[in-house]
Structure 1
């Protein structure tokens, strides 16, 4: 049986954990080939963004959701579009991650956001490597079924 107990993460604990992870990742960067350095930099950038959020708002998590997060619909659409545009054309894990997030949350996207994503995928001249192209083409087909 799944427990409904609230899990609380202290601000200090979260910041310490993020700092430790970032240090470990930078240590790892010294030992990996150059072609993986962008992945490491992207990961550290993401951890830095999380650290800034935790530092500003703190976190009280319930089943993995930041309770203090307050977004209006326009803010949410902007975050989805910005994340999508950041990932489009990249040769990185972020391609699949953002595509999955969009698919798992498609019900919160407006029709305009969906149409914009489809259009930008179709007009993009460089969707990345073959595996990235497959992800974007699948996402475009998935989104076309929604509108």
Structure 2
């Protein structure tokens, strides 16, 4: 198990896989609350999370066709973290849960929970990138 977490690529693959899974769950559950502004926003953000996780895994991790700078990766991850957090807060504070009194609110609750979980996962990706940036700076200073 330690061998999985020792390699940067393996850890990054785990984080991107978790982002993908969380994005798919948000995507599926937010379809029940589309038509409300917060539900539509959650739907669009989940689509972007799923797409980013797939494209990053394919082009950056697997085929290595794109060499992404750490500052760009941290910026994209931070923006997606912020958007997920905004979507979660907007969904929880909206009237979504008052409109679903006649039907089950399970999908709306699941969407809210996984928006917050996605925020945590995306934030951990920002943290891992930050650690990588500080290690790169330390290595650069040690050479000179």
Shorter-normalised TM range: 0.3 to 0.5
Q: Which has the higher helix share?
A: 2
> Which fold has the larger relative contact order, with Cα–Cα distance below 8 Å and residues 6 or more apart in sequence?
2
TM-score by length of structure 2 reads: 0.37
